[in-house]
Amino acid sequence: MKLKEVDRTAMQAWSPAQNHPIYLATGTSAQQLDATFSTNASLEIFEFDLSDLSLDMKSCATFSSSHRYHKLIWGPHKLDSKGNVSGVLIAGGENGNIILYDPSKIIAGDKEVVIAQNDKHTGPVRALDVNIFQTNLVASGANESEIYIWDLNNFATPMTPGAKTQPLEDISCIAWNRQVQHILASASPSGRATVWDLRKNEPIIKVSDHNNRMHCSGLAWHPEVATQMVLASEDDRLPVVQVWDLRFASTPLRVLENHARGILAIAWSMADPELLLSCGKDAKILCSNPNTGEVLYELPTNTQWCFDIQWCPRNPAVLSAASFDGRISVYSIMGGSTDGLRQKQADKLSSSFGNLDPFGTGQPLPPLQIPQQAAQHSIVLPLKKPPKWIRRPIGASFSFGGKLVTFENVKVQSQQGAELQPHVFISQVVTEKEFLSRSDQLQQVVQSQGFVNYCQKKIDASQSDFEKNVWSFLKVNFEDDSRGKYLQLLGYSKEDLGKKIALALNKVDGPNVHIKEEKQESEFLPSVGGPFNISISGDIDGLITQALLTGNFESAVDLCLHDNRMADAIILAIAGGQELLARTQKKYFAKSQSKITRLITAVVMKNWKEIVESCDLKNWREALAAVLTYAKPDEFSALCDLLGTRLESEGDSLLQTQACLCYICAGNVEKLVACWTKAQDGSNPLSLQDLIEKVVILRKAVQRTQAMDTNTVGVLLAEKMSQYANLLAAQGSIAAALAFLPESTNQPNIVQLRDRLCRAQGEPVPGQESPQVPYERQHLPKGRPGPTADHTQIPRVPTQQYYPHGENPPPPGFIMHGNVNPNVASAQLSTSPGHMHTQVPSYPQPQRPQNGWNDPPALNRVPKKKKMPENFMPPVPITSPIMNPMGDPQSQMLQQPSAPGPLSNQASFSQPHLPGGQPSFQGLQQPLGQPGMPPSFSKPNIEGAPGGPIGNTIQHVQALPTEKITKKPIPDEHLILKTTFEDLIQRCLSSATDPQTKRKLDDANKRLEFLYDKLREQTLSPTIINGLHNIARSIETRNYSEGLTIHTHIVSTSNFSETSAFMPVLKVVLTQANKLGV
Amino acid sequence: MVSVINTVDTSHEDMIHDAQMDYYGTRLATCSSDRSVKIFDVRNGGQILIADLRGHEGPVWQVAWAHPMYGNILASCSYDRKVIIWKEENGTWEKTHEHTGHDSSVNSVCWAPHDYGLILACGSSDGAISLLTYTGEGQWDVKKINNAHTIGCNAVSWAPAVVPGSLIDQPSGQKPNYIKKFASGGCDNLIKLWKEEEDGQWKEEQKLEAHSDWVRDVAWAPSIGLPTSTIASCSQDGRVFVWTCDDASSNTWSPKLLHKFNDVVWHVSWSITANILAVSGGDNKVTLWKESVDGQWVCISDVNKGQGSVSASVTEGQQNEQ
């Protein structure tokens, strides 16, 4: 394929391989004249710019020369030390002169570009070559057997390789050996070639054909084999290339007879010794393999002869050829289309008639249409054999599980000679050793349940006080009287305090209220038996007496209060009953101004929330201590949570980290993760390890103390855990990764990762023809209905798929969450040996459809952390049909890859979008007989039963009580609304901090079901639907204010009754999202 | 740190040019100048030849596994100007499609992220890049970018599907607005980034210039949820660059020289977690690189010298002793 062309009748030289960018130098040829008969000469440099798609080459510089050239070469030798990287242009002139030019000066436009000049030769200098080992050495050849060796550093006095050969003849070619630096060859038109050894300073061998018809026009050494060279003959009677091996120099090793007429020039590729270019008087440019004689490529050329041909040293696929029609063309031998080329030639032709408007009509001529031979296709085929430089010899690619696949093509010496070893190596790459060993430890601890020791070790190894605190708090979780120990950690020891109080009592007889009361009590009691006077006078005492006598406690208390007799008032109020006491206490607190009143208030009123909500954050320790001491078990966690939240949102950075301690007390794993993540750089494996250690331990503690559902994992934690699992997997610890991966989640990335991990473990799946993956399978044409309908996916025990009403309810205390993973296999996994969550109940887990038929939607509800009431009833008895209860966990583990049900398929991937391809894929899965469904709705499992294989799904649907399937699925095109809104609520929930907002969001989630119902029934008007989609899109882009605007628009333009059920809810969600900035 | 866990004797009769594991790391596909593509089951350190695929009429340069959600599908490209897509049906591998739209050697094939559907990018020595999209019923739609790289495209690599910076998964059910992008490297010394326009046409989005010779390979790093996009490139000039773009909107890429080797660098490959780069050099050396905390790339392992290493450029004498 032709890349560039230049209209010059010139000799050509490429810039050396080292140079970048690539230049092509041209020097006016001494042997040709064009029709102008001009003998003006010039030296030009063109830049070879492939990013320019036109055929023109950009001329960088032109130097008008007084010489025309027989030969032009460009050597890499640097003449000065100033970093002149352009090398040196060496030209052979007409009159025995050799001229050295500085190409960088030519490019710079300098006038003085000649470095040196020497005319020691006789006659035209036709042969020049640079020694590739010592680039300052140049050999030249001219008439009368003259050969000189020039040292560019000492140009004045050339050397000779030895005595001139006899008889005297022209030297047409000269070439340095490519392997041995002191060997030089020269050749003459007479057909003789001479090999010189410069160390011996004499010719060492003469190569000559017997018939003497060789007329040497080209000479080249083998790029790799030191003893081989080729000679080309210009004689039409013998248009051959001879391959000689000096080890057997009496006859050519091989003769390439591919040209019909004499060969004018040859060039042997330095990049691939199997590529030899030759051009001849038959107007052909051929690329042959001199080692076999085979023609690999014939360049598409015009009918002109080429007299010079050169490989580009830097770009091995590029060559240039100079033709007698005054053109230098640059080609690629990699083939390709020549479509771009023709246009230019057409333009050229039309413009060659003078100008574009030769008839003076004022209208430019259209480009001349060159008649094209219809049959001639414009595609140029590449070389028959791939050139060496595109044969990739080595490669290393990573694959899943930290594996590295490497190959290389090194020849290994064996008895049969050099042999390729076609081996591929699979290596395990481990880069995070500390991370792995810590992860191992953690797993061992989980298995051995040695949590206290583990925490203690962590405490001992802690680098910071905070770290120490966190581990101390975690440790307390596993000890008896955890609350007391928390108090101790906060600096409140009961024993210490007792001592302190005792000390205080001994020291002070002072007016300690408590003590005074005791004293009064003790003084009062002995006097009970004595006579006493009941005064009924008109003073306060008297009034109180009268009130008491009439049983009017209330008035008596009021009187006491009025008289500031607080103690009397309280005592009386006790007698007056609970209500009065409470009121009196309130009044007392209202009046009292002491510093500790608020604390006392809280203690007496049991209003811990008040303390937690309003205490100065500097006193968070005290607040936490109070909560630890007094809070009831059912409110304890919430209060700790609340305090943590306050610390996080209101406190400075130091206090923010302390929030972690509150969350540990609260057992709130999710918030601990959130808080920790905020403070730490999570990208580092070890910092992630730090977090996971704490989380795992805290979860264990929570399971122990609060009987939390072990399967529940929040969004953020799930993300961290899967990140962790990914890291483990990347280090090759597939099993560990599986162990840490949260089980009870339908987050697509986790389901996918689990599937990948299971399969990566290399578990054999016997007899399984097509692997099951948690993706919706797409099928290539040849696939039969394919694996989705495959029997391997059918649940094994279909009769046990559901809980019959009233039968086999989950045991008390078992928490059923909306988020329960439909993937039963994962739950089963948890019971397998060696698995960390050994406390998972092993009874079958009730399954609920992801987006159930029943209100409220199961998806996206926040899992509750706390134990449910004892009288908990299992929710609707519809469960996933992929139940796989009982059974040997081991075998189930093995089947796991096939087990992940279609429901998780659904969750895993949004269906692939093949433009225009939907019908064909979907068609395979389209449920039978569901009229009215849009064709793209092919998966009842989206909304309906979580069944996958379609045949089975229908079966299941039939097996269900009819009333349960009255709800239609949401049409596919609107499903995005549901997923978007639910996703948004989920996001809000995970970042909402106060319970009230959470409640609101939970409620909203439920109430949006009205919307989904309407979508199912397809009763909404198109404008509303459009509006909702617009809202969904604005949610996607996090532009909630835009969403609200659209919302307002919908509400204002639509029928109230149509939208009232859900639009307000949507507004709440959008507002919250906006506020939370999720 | 790098230990050979399995040595697979492929019995290829000529040079091996590529070896790729499937999505799970349980199957190995290799291709060779002997015109064949082979698939091995390599679970548990074993090697079971599953398929010996014949169909190419020239050396096979690269193989690429499609995502398993589409089944077991492998693409291969060859000097014979063809791209063949192979598929396993009932345990047998067979040709499912042959793409003959190139005029010269097809040097690189790469599947798009599965989220986009089944799309294959192919880079050829004819300078063009073609994109094959499966449209159903055995039909493949072909889009061609002509003159992508004058005198040849050597490598193509897709950008990950996750839009950098978004940690939240796209909701399922509707096609998210992914912007499809891929990188290519070629004999014009350039790396080019291509982007699909809204009308479905591919447009050159960016030219990355730093190499002074053929770009041999480009590898877009997997997304790990960070907002930065990263591309590694290697070249005939011995240089390996790591390009990063921190801001998708400005789309400015800055190169960082990872290392200048003394020989051509043929291949670069990111680990799944995108933190290690494997560099395969013409001196038959594979080195692993990792970015240090201060942003410098450090060679963490020379695979040749690793334990039980890949028996590489050891001398022949040593080879015989082993």
**Residues contacting A993, CB < 8 A, separation 6+:** A645, A648, A649
Q: How far from the centroid of its chain's Cα atoms is residue A1006's Cα? A: 36
Residue A958 has pLDDT above 50, yes or no: no
Share of chain A above pLDDT 70, in %: 68
**Between A390, A422, A972, which is nearest B11 by CB?**
A422
**Residues contacting A933, CB < 8 A, separation 6+:** A927, A971
Q: A116-152 pLDDT, tens per residue?
A: 888 888 888 889 999 988 888 899 988 888 899 988 8
Segment A494-501 shows an average pLDDT of 72
Pairing outcome for strands A69-75 and A58-65: unpaired
**B20 at the A interface (CB within 8 A)?**
yes
Task: Say what the pLDDT of residue A488 is.
Answer: 73
Taking phi first (over 0 means left), then psi (-120 to 50 degrees means alpha), and beta for anything else, what does residue A155 get? alpha
Query: In this structure, are residues B92 and A303 in contact, taking their beta carbons and an 8 Å threshold?
Result: no
Segment A636-644 shows an average pLDDT of 78
**A26 three-class SS:** strand
Query: In this structure, are residues A817 and A708 in contact, taking their beta carbons and an 8 Å threshold?
Result: no
Q: B264-273 pLDDT, tens per residue?
A: 999 999 998 8
Interface of B with A in 90-109 (CB under 8 A): 90-91, 94, 96, 103-105, 107
Query: In this structure, are residues A380 and A1 in contact, taking their beta carbons and an 8 Å threshold?
Result: yes
User: In this structure, what token pair is assigned to residue B105?
Assistant: 């050697």
Neighbours of A352 (CB within 10 A): 8
Give the pLDDT band (50/70/90) at residue A705.
Answer: low
Task: Say what the pLDDT of residue A532 is.
Answer: 62
Task: Say what the pLDDT of residue B35 is.
Answer: 93
Residue A860 has pLDDT above 50, yes or no: no
Residue B205 has pLDDT above 80, yes or no: yes
Query: Are residues A394 and B281, on separate chains, in Cβ contact within 8 Å?
Result: yes
Rounded to 10 degrees, the C-alpha dihedral B248/B254/B255/B258 comes to -80
Q: Among the residues of A242-376, which ranges form H helices?
A: 339-351
CATH 1.20.940.10 fits A972-1076, yes or no: yes
Residue-range domain boundaries for chain A: 2-335, 392-412+420-428, 972-1076
Query: Are residues A422 and B13, on separate chains, in Cβ contact within 8 Å?
Result: yes
Segment B101-115 shows an average pLDDT of 92
Find which of B191, B271, B301, B305 to mutate to test the A interface (most A CBs within 10 Å of its CB). B271
Helix axes A1009-1017, A995-1007, angle to 10 degrees: 20
Residue A805 has pLDDT above 50, yes or no: no
C-alpha B210/C-alpha B199 separation (Å) is: 31
**B292 at the A interface (CB within 8 A)?**
no
Segment B256-260 shows an average pLDDT of 93
Query: In this structure, are residues A953 and A927 in contact, taking their beta carbons and an 8 Å threshold?
Result: yes
Q: A76-100 pLDDT, tens per residue?
A: 887 665 555 678 889 888 888 898 8
Q: A1034-1074 pLDDT, tens per residue?
A: 888 888 888 888 888 887 777 777 777 788 888 888 888 88
User: A849-880 as b/e, with b when 16 or more CB fall inside 10 Å?
Assistant: bbbbbeebbbbbbbbebbbbeeebebbbbbbb
Task: Say what the pLDDT of residue A909 is.
Answer: 44
Least trusted range by pLDDT, from A399-408, A515-524, A538-547, A1004-1013: A515-524
Give the pLDDT band (50/70/90) at residue A683.
Answer: low
Task: Say what the pLDDT of residue A712 is.
Answer: 65
Q: Among the residues of A707-746, which ranges form H helices?
A: 715-730, 734-740
**Between A404, A756, A915, which is nearest B278 by CB?**
A404
Segment A184-202 shows an average pLDDT of 87
Q: What angle do CA A130, A132, A137 make, to 5 degrees?
A: 45
Sheet with A23-28, strands from edge to edge, namely: A10-14, A23-28, A41-47, A58-65
Segment A482-492 shows an average pLDDT of 72
Between A and B, how many residue pairs show a Cβ–Cβ distance under 8 A?
379
C-alpha A278/C-alpha A288 separation (Å) is: 8
Residue B43 has pLDDT above 70, yes or no: yes
Segment A157-171 shows an average pLDDT of 83
Give the pLDDT band (50/70/90) at residue A737.
Answer: confident
Of the two residues A831 and A524, the one the predictor is more confident about is A524
Q: How far is B309 from chain A (nearest CA, A)?
A: 9
Q: How far from the centroid of its chain's Cα atoms is residue A508's Cα? A: 71
Give the pLDDT band (50/70/90) at residue B208.
Answer: very high
Task: Say what the pLDDT of residue A27 is.
Answer: 87
**Between A756, A787, A915, which is nearest B135 by CB?**
A915
Mean pLDDT of chain A: 72
**Between B19, B104, B150, which is nearest A395 by CB?**
B19
Annotate A83-94 with DSSP letters as a single string.
--TT-EEEEEET
**Residues contacting A188, CB < 8 A, separation 6+:** A145, A169, A170, A171, A172, A216
Least trusted range by pLDDT, from A61-65, B57-61, B72-76, B168-172: B168-172
Task: Say what the pLDDT of residue A158 is.
Answer: 87
Task: Say what the pLDDT of residue A29 is.
Answer: 82
Taking CB atoms and an 8 Å cutoff, what residues of chain B touch A397?
A: 18-21, 267, 269, 278
Helix (H) or strand (E) holding A755: helix A748-760
Q: A284-327 pLDDT, tens per residue?
A: 888 999 888 888 888 876 667 888 899 999 888 899 988 888 88
Query: In this structure, are residues B73 and B86 in contact, taking their beta carbons and an 8 Å threshold?
Result: yes
CATH topology match: A2-335 vs A972-1076: no
Name, of A950-954, B238-242, B288-292, the range with top average pLDDT: B238-242
DSSP letter at B70 equals G
Phi/psi at A237 (nearest 5 deg)?
-80, -20
Going from the C-alpha of A824 to that of each of A805, B172, B291, B315, the distances in angstroms are 21, 22, 41, 56
Task: Say what the pLDDT of residue B29 is.
Answer: 95
**B173 at the A interface (CB within 8 A)?**
yes
Provide the β-strand partners of residue A29: A69
Phi/psi at A451 (nearest 5 deg)?
-70, -40
Q: Among the residues of A408-493, which ranges form H helices?
A: 433-448, 451-461, 465-476, 482-489
Of the two residues A509 and A114, the one the predictor is more confident about is A114
Task: Say what the pLDDT of residue B221 is.
Answer: 93
C-alpha B118/C-alpha B151 separation (Å) is: 28
**A386 three-class SS:** coil
Closest CA to B157 of B228, B240, B233, B271: B233
Share of chain A above pLDDT 90, in %: 6
Task: Say what the pLDDT of residue A835 is.
Answer: 40
Give the pLDDT band (50/70/90) at residue A517.
Answer: very low
CATH superfamily, with its number, for domain A2-335: YVTN repeat-like/Quinoprotein amine dehydrogenase (2.130.10.10)
Closest residue in B to A386 (Cα–Cα): B79
Of the two residues A619 and A890, the one the predictor is more confident about is A619
Taking CB atoms and an 8 Å cutoff, what residues of chain B touch A50?
A: 149-151, 187-189
Taking CB atoms and an 8 Å cutoff, what residues of chain B touch A916?
A: 135-136, 141
Task: Say what the pLDDT of residue A954 is.
Answer: 36
Q: A376-391 pLDDT, tens per residue?
A: 445 566 778 889 888 8
Query: In this structure, are residues A307 and A322 in contact, taking their beta carbons and an 8 Å threshold?
Result: yes
**Between B226, B310, B316, which is nearest A425 by CB?**
B310
Least trusted range by pLDDT, from A741-755, B57-71, B229-243: A741-755
Query: In this structure, are residues A7 and A44 in contact, taking their beta carbons and an 8 Å threshold?
Result: no
Task: Say what the pLDDT of residue B175 is.
Answer: 55
Residue A811 has pLDDT above 60, yes or no: no
Is the Cα torsion angle A705, A706, A712, A718 positive or negative in sign? Answer: negative
C-alpha A614/C-alpha A629 separation (Å) is: 18
Share of chain B above pLDDT 70, in %: 89
